[in-house]
Structure 1
Amino acid sequence: MPENRVSYRVPKAHGPKITVIGGGHGLSTMLRGLKNYTENLTAVVTVADDGGGSGMLRQDLGMPPPGDIRNCMEALANTEPLMSQLMHYRFSEGSLAGQSFGNLFLAALNGISPSFDVAVSRMSEVLAITGRVLPVTTADVQLEAEFENGATVVGESKIFYCKKKEDCRIRQVRLLPEHSKALPAAVAAIEDADMIVLGPGSLYTSIIPNLLVDGVVEAIQRSDALKVYVCNVMTQEGETEGYTASDHIAAIFAHSAPGLFDLCMTNSSPIPKGVAARYAEEGAELLKCDEAACNALGVEIINRPIATVSNGYVRHHPGHLARELVLLHAERSVRVAGDGFDYRKDTYHVERKDR
C-alpha cells in the first residue's frame, strides 16, 4: 500500500506566531530550525547566567549576561559568512581569553543604549535576524537553589558543583531579588502567540528561571496558544540525575502553576548503546518517558523522532524538532479558508509519514 503522508504549505511571512521560552544551547538549536518555517518568532531568554564570559561581563560592567541572548541572535541571524564568523570568534590569549566577540559587541551596544533590551534590539538589526530575541527581564537577578537536605547556594554557575557535593535533589530554585518584573514586550509576545514552547534546555537553570519572573506565568495562563514543553533527551549531570519526564513536568508546575501546559514532546529516536554508556559514566542517562505519570499530571505525551548524535553528544536535531512542532501546531489548529494568504510564493513545505 502507498504510504500516507501529512503535508502542509504556509507562507513563512504568515507562519504561526511562535514564542519560545528558555535559554542555553537547546533554545538556540531549536530556533535554527524554526526560522525555516515562520518569520513570526520570538525568543524570551533567561538572564540568570553568571558563569563564563557572560559572568565576567556581568561582574565587570554591571550588565545582564549576554551569552544566551547572543546565541539566540546568532541562530536567527541572516548575515554574510564573515559576520557570522566574527560573532562566533573567541579570543584565545590575554585578558580576553575565552571571551566571545559577540558578547563584547553586545556589551558595547549596551554601553551606548538607554537599556539592555534596546541594545539587544539594535544588535538584532545589525544581524538582520528572523524574528525577535527578548530578555525576560532587565533586572539584575541571581538564581538561588535549595536542596532537599536544606543546603542552599546562590549563583547559576555554582548549582552544578553544589549538587554534586550535597548528593541530593534540588528542592526548589528562586530568583534574587524576588518579584522582578518581566519585560513588557516579552509578556505581550507570550499573550499574542499561536504557540508557546518551553525548552528544550536545563530544567532548573534555563527554563524555570523565566517562570519565576513576575508576569510570565500569568501571561502563559492568559494565552489561548497551543502550549508545549520540549523535554530533554538525556538527564543532566549536576541537575536532573534520575529524573523522568514526569519529574521534569512536576518541577515546572511546582515553580509556576499546575496545568501550565498540556502537551510534552519527547524523543523517540534510538540512541546508540556506546553513546548511552559514555553518558552513564558521567551520571546521565536516556530520559525515561513515564507516560502514565505524565497523563496523571494532565499532560499528553507527543513522542517524535527529534534527537540526533553529533560528535558523540546527544542533541535535539534543529530541523526535525522544528518540523514536528510546526506539524503539531498545524494538526491541532484550524486555519480559516480564504484567509488571503498567497500559497504560491514564499512558502515552506513540511511533511512526514502518517503515524
Structure 2
Amino acid sequence: MGTQEEPRVVVIGGGTGMPVLLRGLKSLPITLTALVTVADDGGSTGRLRSEMDIPAPGDIRNVIAAMSDVEPMLIELFQHRFSMGNGLSGHSLGNLLLAAMTSITGDFFTGIKEISRVLNVKGEIYPISNENLLLHAEMEDGTIVSGESKIPLAKKRIKRVFLSPQPAEPLTNAIEAIEKADLIVISPGSLYTSILPNLIFPQIDEAILNAKAKVVYVCNVMTQEGETTDYTASDHAQAIIDHVGKNSLDAVVVHNEPISKKIQSVYAEENAKPVQFDIERLMEMGLEVIEGDIIDHQQYTLRHDTNKIATLLYSLVTKTSKKGE
C-alpha cells in the first residue's frame, strides 16, 4: 500500500498515555500524526518555558521518543534526565535539545521537525500551538487556579479549563491534519491538564466537530486525584463534550476486565481507583462503546497495552464516517 493510500490517523493528547498509543501505531501501515499539548509547566519543562519563553517541550519530547525508529541507546540518551549539576539538575537532554533547536531555527515547530528528522520519527508531530500558553481551571466553587502543575494540587472539582493569552492561535498544520484524518483518536491521560488543553482552541474544536472522521476517545483506566476523583467513563466523555461541543465524540474505548487487588492497593495510596465502566449511560449519550482487555498485565503500574490498543484502533480505520452521515 502506497503512502498516499494509507489511512490517516491523528492522535491528540499528551502526558504518559499518548506515547503508549503511538509506539504501537507507528509500525502499522498508516499515515500517523500526533497533535501534542504545550500547556505543561512543571519541572524541566516549566523552567525552560519561563527562561526561554517557549512552548512546553516535555510532552513533545516523549512523543518524539515514542515515534522514533533509532537505536534504543540513542532514545535513552534523548530521554536522560540529569541528577546533578547546578544548572542541569532536573533537566532532560531532550528538553534541552528542543530548546536549543528552537533557538537555532527561531521557531518551536521547526525545531521539532529538525529533531524528528535526526531521530527518524515515523509520522508527523505537531505542537497544538507555537505559543507559550498558560492553562487555568475554574473550580465548581468559583475559584480560579492557574498553571497546569497546580490544578490537581487544589484537589477541587473542576468545572472547566481555559487558556491564556487569548486569542490563542493553533498551528495550521494541526487543523489540516484533523480535517484530512480518517480516524481521530483522543488519547488517555490527565483529562483536564493533558487532554482538554488541546481541544479548547477555537479552531481546533471546530475542526473536530466538522471532521469527516470518527472521533474515538480512549478512556483512562484509573481515576486521578485532583482531576477525575470518582469519575466514571461517562464523566470523562461528558467533560470532553462540555468543552468541545455536542457530537464531538463518536466512540469511547474502555477496559472491561477487573483490575487486580494488588494494583488497586498501589493506586489507592494516591486516592485513585478503577474508572467505572457505565455502559448504559455511555449509550444514552449516543456513543459507540468499544470494550476489551486493553491493559498490559505485565506492568506493575497500569498502562494500556501498546499492541492491543494499536490493533483495536487500526480495526476502526475502515469505519470512519461520523454519526448521521
| TM-score tier after normalising by the smaller chain length | over 0.9
Aligned partner of 1:259 in structure 2 is: 247
Larger radius of gyration: 1
Equivalent residues in 2 for 1:185-224, closer than 5 Å: 185-224=173-212
Task: Summarize deviations over 1:129-176 as a string: whole Å, max 9, x none.
Answer: 00011000112210111111122110000011112xxxx311111111
Aligned partner of 1:323 in structure 2 is: 311
**1:116 and 1:301, CA in 2 relative to 1: closer, same or farther beyond 3 A?**
same
Aligned partner of 1:34 in structure 2 is: 25
**1:302 and 1:311, CA in 2 relative to 1: closer, same or farther beyond 3 A?**
closer
Aligned partner of 1:44 in structure 2 is: 35
Equivalent residues in 2 for 1:135-154, closer than 5 Å: 135-154=127-146
In 1, the alpha carbon distance for the partners of 2:91 and 2:73 equals 18
- TM-score (normalised: structure 2): 0.94
Unaligned runs of 5+ in 2: none
Aligned partner of 1:347 in structure 2 is: none
Alignment check: 8 A CA contact 1:271 1:309 kept: no
Query: Out of 58, 64, 81, which is 2:72 matched to?
Result: 81
Task: Summarize deviations over 1:279-298 as a string: whole Å, max 9, x none.
Answer: 22321111011111112222
Alignment check: 8 A CA contact 1:13 1:39 kept: no
Matching of residue 232 in structure 1 with residue 220 in structure 2: yes
Higher relative contact order (CA 8 A, sep 6+): 1
Aligned partner of 2:111 in structure 1 is: 119
Matching of residue 312 in structure 1 with residue 300 in structure 2: yes
Alignment check: 8 A CA contact 2:157 2:226 kept: no
Q: Tell me how many residue pairs correspond in the alignment.
A: 320
Unaligned runs of 5+ in 1: 1-9, 335-355
Aligned partner of 1:294 in structure 2 is: 282
In 1, the alpha carbon distance for the partners of 2:320 and 2:98 equals 38
Alignment check: 8 A CA contact 2:49 2:55 kept: yes
Aligned partner of 1:71 in structure 2 is: 62
Matching of residue 101 in structure 1 with residue 89 in structure 2: no
* 1:179 aligned partner, one-letter code: P
Matching of residue 178 in structure 1 with residue 166 in structure 2: yes
Provide the alpha-carbon RMSD of the alignment: 1.6
Aligned partner of 2:8 in structure 1 is: 17
Task: Summarize deviations over 1:31-54 as a string: whole Å, max 9, x none.
Answer: 001011134110001111100111
- Please give the secondary structure, in 1, of the residue aligned with 2:150: helix
Runs of 4+ off more than 3 Å: 10-15
In 2, the alpha carbon distance for the partners of 1:264 and 1:18 equals 16
In 2, the alpha carbon distance for the partners of 1:309 and 1:13 equals 36
- TM-score (normalised: structure 1): 0.87
Alignment check: 8 A CA contact 1:244 1:287 kept: yes
In 2, the alpha carbon distance for the partners of 1:273 and 1:13 equals 47
Shift of 1:243: 0.2
